[in-house]
Copies of this chain bind each other. A is one copy, B any other.
């Protein structure tokens, strides 16, 4: 089911396929999708989160700068590829459809935010100065996302490193 959604999102974009399309591709009945996920939005958010957690696990290197650099480099690599870009567009599109897309998006954000917070809590426990999760969103994730969404050049690992260094200097 996950693969079917990821393929359809990459091929057509979110909003351009239905539960019926997913069911046909995964060779299951529509009703089994509704029974397990309740809606296309909930299934899509689940797929996006699983994909992201597997492809970009939150790093644990022993110091925050290296954690953040590894994390930023992973995000830069992911969103530069077709699957990662499709996930990013999916999360954005979820909310455009109103409820229950907004609820699915918010669950996704809360889950991913919780993972980031674990990284920050470990740094704080080591006595390192730590930014907030919103600081990371604002000054590391947001530039990466917007550059790729607006086609503003390739995301190199040097650029991702610079974003992290700038955040930790601020």
Contacts and interface: CB of A to CB of B under 8 A. Distances in A.
A17 to B, nearest CB: 12
Contacts of A102: 151
How many copies of this chain are found per oligomer? 2
A109 interface: yes
A13 B145 CA distance: 20
Interface string A1-29: 00000000000010110000000000000
Interface stretch (A53-61, A71-79, A131-139): A131-139
A169 B170 CA distance: 9
Interface stretch (A62-70, A88-96, A117-125): A88-96
B151 A142 contact: no
B146 A138 contact: yes
Contact of A142 (B16, B92, B146, B169): B146
Contacts of A138: 139, 142-143, 146-147, 163
Interface in A97-143: 97, 102, 105-106, 109, 134, 137-139, 141-143
